[in-house]
Chains A and B, each alone.
Chain A
Amino acid sequence: MTAITAPEALAARADEGPPMRAKAKAGPIERIAVHLVFLVISAFFLVPFLWLLSAAFDAKANAYVGIPAHPTLDNFVKIFTEYDFGRVLVNSLFVAIATMILVVFTVALAGYSLSRIELRRKDWITYAVLLLQTMPISATMVPIYGLARQLGLRNSYLGLILIHAAIELPFLIWLMKGFFDSIPRHLEEAAWLDGRSRFRALMEIVLPLARPGLGIAAGLAFLSAWAEVLMVVILIDQDSLKTVPLAFYQAMRTQGGYTEVQYGVIAAMAIIYLLPVMLVFFTARRLMVSGLMNSTRGL
């Protein structure tokens, strides 16, 4: 299993910074050259975000990046008054938090069980889980739509929450199994001998020690449910159930063709949509970087 953990483990190291060694100081030519390269690369990655900021605070937002010509907060006011964005936000928060709770519960149980179960072909289960992880949700979108319609899971938060949870499960089960593997069995055995039942030993001794893992699982489940758009688009078409990604999706489509997009309004929505992501991600950056190294995320 170590091999498959390798990319994630490496990413965690990437965030730690290099070993610093005293070396000859860089000369001026090297300095200038390196910083020029830095400038070009950072511009490539950052210009779209700089534009986003400028557009959201501009009354007559354009598609190009610049200091807002007509600085205003109108766009933010508009999305709450004209687009009912407040309700959409509450919907999204509800779905994301419910998904997070369901995921944490499910992966805690499943990760622990998978770590402790004794089966002769146990590694096959792990491989099956990894195989599911590589299954892109865009490939199963058509059947999921058909299945959800037959099961009456369309236009229902239950359906949305279940499927958002399911999407994150393969990776997080595998992640949590790793966490539980690192907690010595002797600890729960000691608790059993001290008189605890298996369930209470899990709750009192094992889970408190798995807290960092559960934290990562909760953060990733929230982020994923918050950002996921494909399932929302195919499962929800009632206005009252709309979540942020759907509102965003619709705003982009209904604001005319791509040439006359109401950039300012959508940019304001995007900024509010991005806030929780930035908050979760940058408060626990190192944990999340190692957690996010899930190759099939964010399709």
Chain B
Amino acid sequence: MADVEYDRVWKRFGPQQAAAVHGLSLKVPDRELLVLLGPSGCGKTTALRMLAGLEEPDDGDIRIGGKSVVGLEPKDRDVALVFQSYALYPHLSARDNIGYPLKVRNLSKAEQAKRVERVAEMLGIGHLLPRRPAQLSGGEQQRVALARAIVREPRVFLMDEPLSNLDAKLRVHTRTELKALQRELGTTMIFVTHDQAEAMSLANRIAVLNAGELQQIGTPDDVYDRPANVFVAEFIGSPPMNLMPATTTGDTAVTDGGWRLPVPSGTTTSHPETIVGLRPEGIDIVANDQPGATLAEVITVEPFGSEVIVDVRLGDASVKIRTAPDVRPAPGSQVALSVKPSAVRLFDRATGAAL
């Protein structure tokens, strides 16, 4: 059990290349499940590998339990990593794979067997123990890899996209289990993924990375409701937040498409060039005669059962609206849109930062 801290960590792979990790500072308290979220190539896996000791930072410090681990061999860090590829030893049975870290620690045969059995039981893979990795399905391999990490009782669990090779249904099921498991074990976990839905459902807190830089860190609700910048706003949420260039004066923002929106109270803008952000569920389709409503043309209607996504055109901008399943405007028709002031987010057009 331990907390983890990144302290101004830099990593660059070649002199010509941009930094893979760009002055990352991050504190993960004990027992937290932190998700590192970002598009591929954003540096999240590199950050994880530096914590594991598979890469060394060029600058900065990494601490586990308050003590620097920089320069320590991976074997001396007492962290477990589940790889995206699972990295099961192909020539060993599932039992020997799970037992390998215990064998390394010179535990007695009886103790090894007991702990392997217990973990296998916990994950429901007791019957798979005699098999080789090649004889296991993807989901089963994933469980064996997980068991190999758990059996050691490490200080920190590291997960490098461990669910991305599973089919969609199994992925959703496994992430629910994983969350319960982490809570039960109470071990700090750092989980890397590019899937924002996975991040939202798993995390105590999410750290969003882009191009090696930390964009925002906060609870899932924080990053969803109050994205720190345009990148986070676009990356999180499906469909993502609608973003439209706007001119802001006083308490009104006017999009380039001519939509007048109320600016939430407390927002200060020093200059009028802004970007307005609206979550699809922050927009309502209302009766055409409602005061303040704006008319837009319906382009497509996508029913998803529990909700309907309506795509409308407003000037040049395409706007997605999440509505109740019974709202089905005809494509080509005009609908009236209304927005609550509290749903409007404003960003600086020059920097992309939230205002």
Contact = CB atoms under 8 A, between A and B. Distances in A.
Interface of A: 120, 184, 186-187, 189-198, 205, 208-209
Helix, strand, loop or mixed for chain A's interface?
helix
A193 B80 contact: yes
Contact of B54 (A187, A192, A194): A192
B85 A189 contact: no
B75 A196 contact: yes
Interface centre among A192, A195, A196, A208 (most CB of B within 10 A): A195
B79 interface: yes
A190 B89 CA distance: 9
Contacts of A189: 52, 54, 74, 81, 83, 87
B156 to A, nearest CB: 11
Contact of A184 (B77, B79, B85, B148): B85
12 contacts: A184-B85, A186-B87, A187-B89, A189-B54, A189-B83, A190-B148, A191-B100, A193-B52, A193-B53, A193-B54, A194-B100, A209-B91
A196 B104 contact: yes
Given A184-B85, A187-B87, A193 B104 contact: no
Contacts of B152: 194-195
Contacts, number: 57
Contacts of B85: 184, 186
A197 to B, nearest CB: 6
Contacts of A209: 90-91
Given A189-B74, A193-B77, A195-B101, 20 more contacts: A120-B14, A187-B87, A187-B89, A189-B87, A190-B81, A190-B83, A190-B87, A191-B100, A192-B53, A192-B54, A192-B73, A193-B52, A193-B54, A193-B79, A193-B81, A194-B80, A195-B75, A196-B75, A197-B75, A208-B91
Report the 10 A-B pairs with minimum CB-CB distance, sorted nearest first: A186-B87, A194-B101, A192-B74, A190-B87, A195-B104, A195-B75, A186-B83, A208-B91, A193-B74, A193-B81
A194 B148 CA distance: 9
A191 to B, nearest CB: 7
Interface of B: 14, 52-54, 73-75, 77, 79-81, 83, 85, 87, 89-91, 100-101, 104-105, 148, 152
A238 B79 CA distance: 61
A194 B91 contact: no
Contacts of A208: 91
A121 to B, nearest CB: 13
A205 B53 CA distance: 19
Nearest to A189: B54
Contact of B75 (A120, A186, A193, A205): A193
A142 B52 CA distance: 54
B87 A194 contact: no
Contacts of A184: 85, 87
A205 B92 CA distance: 9
Contacts of A190: 81, 83, 87, 89, 148
Interface centre among B83, B89, B91 (most CB of A within 10 A): B89
A194 B53 CA distance: 12
B22 to A, nearest CB: 21
Nearest to B160: A186
A183 B77 CA distance: 24
A189 B77 CA distance: 13
Contacts of A186: 83, 85, 87
Contacts of B80: 193-194
A120 B74 CA distance: 24
A190 B152 CA distance: 13
Greatest chain B CB density within 10 A among A184, A190, A191, A209 is at: A190
A191 B148 CA distance: 11
Contacts of A193: 52-54, 74-75, 77, 79-81
Contacts of A205: 89
Nearest to B14: A120
A202 B79 CA distance: 20
A190 B92 CA distance: 13
Nearest to B79: A193
B83 A192 contact: no
Contacts of B77: 193
A198 B14 CA distance: 24
A208 B87 CA distance: 15
B69 to A, nearest CB: 12
Nearest to B89: A205
A165 B148 CA distance: 41
Nearest to B106: A195
Contacts of A196: 75, 104
A84 to B, nearest CB: 46
Contacts of B54: 189, 192-193
A193 B89 CA distance: 13
Contacts of B100: 191, 194
Contacts of B89: 187, 190-191, 205
A186 B104 CA distance: 18
A8 B126 CA distance: 44
Contacts of B90: 187, 209
Contacts of B74: 189, 192-193
Nearest to B85: A186
Contacts of A197: 73, 75
A192 B74 CA distance: 6
Contacts of B73: 192, 197-198
Contacts of B14: 120
Contacts of A191: 89, 100
A193 to B, nearest CB: 5
Nearest to B54: A189
A111 B3 CA distance: 40
Nearest to B91: A208
Contacts of A195: 75, 101, 104-105, 152
